[in-house]
Chain A
Amino acid sequence: MIKLQPRREPSALMVYLSPVLAGLLTLITGAILFTALGYNPLTALHTFLIAPLQDSQGVSEWLVKASPILLCAIGLAVAYRANIWNIGAEGQLLMGALVGSAVALQFPDSESKAVLVLVLICGILAGMFWAGIAAYLKTQFNTNEILTTIMLNYIALNLLQYAVHGPLKDPEGYSFPESAAFSAGATLPTLMEDGRVHIGFGLALIAVLLVWFLVSKSFLGFQMKVMGMEAKAAKFAGYPEKRLTWLVLMISGGLAGLAGVCEVTGPIGQLIPNVSPGYGYAAIIVAFLGRLHPIGILAASLLMALIYMGGELAQIKLSTPAALTSLFQGMLLFYLLACDVLIRYRFIKTKPTTLSQGAN
C-alpha cells in the first residue's frame, strides 16, 4: 500500500521539477492520444512542437503569440502572489483591445506615432479600469474576486461583440463585423524586417524585468508575498491590505489591457470579434507553470505559444480538431497540480498490516 506522507519541509527540488514532470506527462499522454486517433505519434509531436519553429518566419510568429500570453501571465503572477485570484485577464485584455481600438479609429489618417502612445495608454487604462471594478468591490464590500472577474470576462466579450457589430463597425466593410483598419500612426512598429514580431514583445520583456524587480527586490513585493502567504500576519504587521489589493489588480489589469491593445495595433491591425483565442485563460496556466516567477513565466509562455502554433499547424497538416490546443492546456495544468503534491508530500510504502486501517 502506497501512502502520502507530509514532508517536514517543502521540497525545493520538486518546486522546479514538477513543471518539467507535468510537461513530460502531457507529452506522453499526447503521444498516446495521437496513436489512439490513428496518427503516427512521432510525426504528430514533431508537427506540434518542432515544425512550427523551423524558419525565421516561424520564430517571429512564435514571439508574436507569446507576447500577449506573457503580458497577461506576468500580471496574474503578481496578483496570485498576493493571493488575489484574478481570473479576469481575458476580459481585461478584451477591454484593452476595445478601448484602444475606439481611440485608434478617431485618427483614421494619422502618421504620427504620438497617436500610438495615446492608444497604448488608453488600452492599459481600460484594462486597469476593468480590473479596478473587481478591486473596488473586493476592498469595499469583500466581494469574491474570482466570481466578479469571471463575470466581467463575459460582460467584456458582450461589449466587444456589441462594438464590432455596432458603433465601431467599418461603414465601408460590407456586412463584416469588423472595424476599419488602423492608420499607420496607430500601428505598432515591427522589430525585424521580415516577420510580424512587434514592439509588444519588447514591452513584455520590460514588464518581466520590472515585475522581477518588484517581487524580488522591493519591500512592496515582500508585503504582497506576506499577504499571500498569511493574511493575518500581514494585518498584524500593519501592511495596507486594501492598497495592496488595489495595486496587484491594477498591475495585472494594466498588463492584460496592454496585451489586448498590442494585439489590435500589432498583428491584427483592426478590431475583430475574436481578438483572443483565450490568451487570458491560458495565462492562468502559464502563471502556475512558471511558478509565479518572472523567469519561469517567460519560459512557460514560450511553451504555451508553441502549443498554440503547433495546434494550428497540426490542424492544417494533419486536420486534427482545433480544440486540441485547449485540451493540451487543460491537461498540462492538471498534471502540474498533481505533481505539485510532491512538493509537500512524499510517497511511502506502508506495511500490509495497516492496510485495513488505511483503506477505511
Chain B
Amino acid sequence: MDFDLNMLSNLLYAMVRTGTPLLLVALGEMVCEKSGVLNLGQEGMMLMGAVAGFITAYATGNLFIGVLLAMLMGILMSLLFGFIAITLNANQVATGLALTIFGIGLSAFIGASYVGQPIKGFEPINVAGLSDTPIIGKMLFGQDLLVYLSFIIFLGVYWFFRWSRPGLIVKAVGENPHAAEAVGLPVIRTRYLAVMFGGAMAGLAGAYLSLAYTPMWAENMSAGRGWIALALVVFASWQTGRILLGAYLFGLMSILHLVVQGLGFNVSPNLLGSMPYIATIVVLVFLSMNQKRIKLYAPISLGKPFHRSR
C-alpha cells in the first residue's frame, strides 16, 4: 500500500512537470486569441526560446539570465509575427505557419554546436519541507522554480481576465475591434501586447524544456507541444481555469507510457509515444461535435485582420 501511494505521488508530480510547458504556451496563446489574433507560430517561438535560453545559460552559467533571454527571444519572434499579421494585415494562419517553419530552422541553425552539451538545470525545491506530505506533497511543494512561476502566471492571468480593466479591454478588442476602436480603445496596440505576451510565454515554456524538464538542447525538442497547446485553448473554451485542467490532463497523457511500463506491460514506446497526439484528436472531435459551444466561447473576431476605419 505504501508503495502504491509513493507511485501515485510520483505520477502526480510528473503530470504537473509535463503539463507545465503546455500550460504556459496555452495561457499565452489564450491571451493572444482573446484579443482576436490566432498565432499558429507557438512551436517556432518555443524552440527559439529553448535554444536562446540554453545557449545563454551555457555561456553565462546563470539559469535566470537564460530564462530572461528565452522570454525576450519569444517576444522578438512574436513581434515578427505581429508586424506581418497585424501591421501588414497578412493571413494569420499562413503567417503563423511561417513562424513555426522559420523557428524550427533558425533554432536548429543557432543551436547546431550545442546539441548534446551538458548543463546543470533547475533543481526541485522542497518548499517549507512540505514535499514529504503524502500524495500531493511532491506535486505541489517539490517542483522546480519555473513550475512555481507557472502557478503564479496562471493566477495572474486568471485575475487579469476576471477582475482587471486591461483584461476587459483585451476581450473587447477580440470580440468587436471596430466597436472597441469607436470608444477609443487602442486596438492595434492591445493586439500587439497580447501577441507579445504569447511570445514571452512560449519563450518561457521553451526555457522550461531546455533548462528544467530535460536540461539540454536538441533540434525540434518541443515535439509538437506548441500545437497541442493550440488545441488546448479550444479544449478549454478560452477559460483560464480549464486551461490548467487541460494542461495537466495532457501532461498525464504524455507520461502514460511510463505508467504502462511501470505496471509491467511490454508495449512499443513508439506506439505509446503517439498517445498525446491521438488524445488531442479525440478531444478535438468531441469538442467540435458541439459547434454552438465553440461559437459561444470563441472570440468573435478571432483570426480576422483588423483594418482601421478612418
Contacts and interface: CB of A to CB of B under 8 A. Distances in A.
Nearest to A284: B97
Contacts of B270: 158-159, 161-162, 165-166
Contacts of A141: 285, 288-289
Contacts of B288: 137, 141-144
A121 interface: no
A156 to B, nearest CB: 9
B84 A321 contact: no
The secondary-structure label for the interface of chain A is helix
A318 to B, nearest CB: 13
Most buried by B among A147, A161, A360: A147
Contacts of B40: 146
Interface residues of B, number: 46
Which residue among B97, B112, B268 has the maximum number of chain A CB atoms within 10 Å of its CB? B97
A338 B90 contact: yes
B105 A327 contact: yes
Contacts of A337: 84, 90-91, 94-95, 98
A328 B105 contact: yes
B175 interface: no
Contact of A330 (B104, B113, B274, B277): B104
Interface string B280-304: 1100110011010000000000000
A329 interface: yes
A326 B219 CA distance: 12
A137 B285 CA distance: 7
Interface stretch (B68-76, B121-129, B223-231): B223-231
A340 B102 contact: no
B102 A288 contact: no
A155 B105 contact: no
Main secondary structure of the interface of B (DSSP, over half): helix
Contacts of A222: none
Contact of B90 (A150, A322, A340): A340
A87 B97 CA distance: 9
Interface string A138-154: 00011110111011101
A146 B277 contact: no
Nearest to A164: B270
A97 interface: no
A322 B220 CA distance: 14
A142 B288 CA distance: 6
B238 to A, nearest CB: 15
Nearest to B44: A330
B112 A321 contact: yes
A6 B307 contact: yes
Contacts of A142: 288-289, 291
Contacts of A330: 98, 101-106
A24 interface: no
9 contacts: A144-B234, A154-B224, A154-B277, A159-B270, A329-B101, A337-B94, A337-B98, A338-B90, A341-B90
Interface of B: 40, 80, 84, 88-91, 93-95, 97-99, 101-106, 108-109, 112-113, 186, 219, 223-224, 227, 230-231, 234, 268, 270-271, 273-274, 277-278, 280-281, 284-285, 288-289, 291, 307
Interface of A: 4, 6, 85, 87, 137, 141-144, 146-148, 150-152, 154-155, 158-159, 161-162, 165-166, 281, 284-285, 288, 321-331, 333-334, 337-338, 340-341, 344-345, 360
Q: Which 4 A-B pairs have the closest CB atoms?
A: A330-B102, A326-B105, A323-B108, A321-B112
